[in-house]
Structure 1
Amino acid sequence: MGMDVYVGPLTRYTLGDWLTVVQQTMQAAGREVRIVHAEPEPEDVITDPVAVSDAVRSWQAGLLSALGSPEGWTDEAELPYWTDKPDWDGYGGMILLAAYDEQPEFRPGTRRGLLRRESRADSARAFQDAPAYKRASSNPTKYPTLLSGVEWWLPVEVAPTVFEAPRVTGQPARMGRVDQLVVELTLLAKRLGLDDDQLGQLRQAGPPDSSTDVEAAGRFGLAVFLELAHAAQLANQPLLLDY
């Protein structure tokens, strides 16, 4: 099971009218690929475009009212979307780099006084098990949405930094604001010494081998996420994790 990032209207996303980068590549090669999600689609899923559009509009109005946010965003199935695939290595590596910045003393191999703390290397895919993540996620300060398990970032100006809300389908999700995500990713890039040109090169080079270290995977994941976060900010559209 892989992980993709989607930026675009929720109506299009809910209808399934979009292709991951893998699907786009396979389609261009005349082949078809089937995507299997972590949660199977319910049997009573609504597929009528008008009904989905109405459901998204009603969902957005209810959410904005609950948040006290004065303005929403334009959400129509015909609007464009953007997507890329950091996969779990890129995502987990990025999360660990943020955790290391929050809690540098828990980075593997970090010295404590005259002694080097003995610990095995962290796994990007098993980032939740890393001591740095466990400590940082309990009270994140620099990267509150990245380290709090946010999966949906919405283009709203008024909302808590992190909040719980149902998705359009009714499933619960942890959410945040797109602008806050851009702030966090920009800070992480700065802390890693990565400028726009370097981020572009990392993105163009594609994902590193799965056997590479957390640093390489995380830098690639950051490059992908920051590009899509900027797209979400400019287009005033949500950014979602899809897996």
Structure 2
Amino acid sequence: MGLDVYVGPLTRYGLGDWLTAVQQAAQAQGMEVRMVRAEPDPEDAITDPVEAADAVRSWQLGLSDALGTSEVWPEDAELPYWTDKPDWDGYGGMVLLAAYDEQPDLKPGNRSGFLRRASPADSPRQFHDAPAYKRASANPTKYPTPLAGVEWWLPYEVGPTVFEAPRLTGQPARMGRVNQLIVELELLAASLGLDREEDLVQLRQAGPPDSPSDVDKAGRFGLAVFIQLARAAQIAKQPLLLDY
């Protein structure tokens, strides 16, 4: 099961009126790809665009009220969307790079004492098992949203860094703010020497590395995907979601 990132109106997302990067590539070649997600659509899912937009706006108002703000963002099934596929390797690699920056002593390859063996490499897809992630995620300081397991970032200007809220389906999710995500991603990029925009563009255009198990290469690709989509979300004032 792969991982995509979606930026755009929740109305469009809820209606399923969007194509992943893989689907778009297949469509360009005259092929069709059917996506199987972790959570199937409910049987009573709304299919009318007007009704769906009304439901999202109602959800918006309820969430904003709960967060103590009057902020809302544009919602309409006809608004544009953006998407790309960092997959779990790119996402997990990015999370591990953030964890290493917070806990450098636990980065694989480091020796913590005389005659101590260097720790084995971590797996991007199994980032939850990495010692650096376990310690960093317990009390993140530099990168609270990636390390706290946020899956939805909303275009609020102010509000809590990380919060729990129901999705449109009523299922709980950990959420954050788009502008906070950008701050964290840019900080991570700077720590990796990726200060130039052209470097990030080149990384994204090059696609995922040949060896997805390479944390550094996979993480840099994932970071390039996320940072450009997060900026698109900020400009368009739209949510950014993990889709799997």
Establish whether TM, by shorter chain, passes 0.5.
Answer: yes
2:155–2:178 Cα contact (<8 Å) kept: yes
Q: Secondary structure at the match of 1:112?
A: coil
2:8–2:79 Cα contact (<8 Å) kept: yes
1:170 maps to which residue?
A: 170
Distance 1:207 1:70 in 2: 40
2:123–2:213 Cα contact (<8 Å) kept: no
Structure 1 residue 214: deviation in Å?
Answer: 0.4
2:124–2:213 Cα contact (<8 Å) kept: no
Residue segments in structure 2 that go unaligned for 5+ positions in a row: none
Task: Count how many residue pairs are aligned between Structure 1 and Structure 2.
Answer: 243
2:234 maps to which residue?
A: 233
Q: CA offsets per residue over residues 153-191 of structure 1, 9 Å max, x none? A: 000122210000001111110000000000000000000
Matching of residues 95-174 of structure 1 within 5 Å: 95-174=95-174
Distance 2:212 2:21 in 1: 22
Residue segments in structure 1 that go unaligned for 5+ positions in a row: none
Return the letter of the residue paired with 2:97: L
Return the letter of the residue paired with 1:94: M
Matching of residues 153-232 of structure 1 within 5 Å: 153-194=153-194, 195-232=196-233
2:9–2:75 Cα contact (<8 Å) kept: yes
Structure 1 residue 63: deviation in Å?
Answer: 0.3
Return the letter of the residue paired with 1:222: L
Worse-superposed segment, 98-107 or 206-215: 206-215
Worse-superposed segment, 43-52 or 199-208: 43-52
1:81 maps to which residue?
A: 81
Distance 2:89 2:31 in 1: 25
TM-score (norm 1): 0.97
2:86–2:221 Cα contact (<8 Å) kept: yes
1:54 maps to which residue?
A: 54
2:243 maps to which residue?
A: 242
RMSD: 1.1
Q: Secondary structure at the match of 1:145?
A: helix
Say whether 1:43 aligns with 2:79.
no
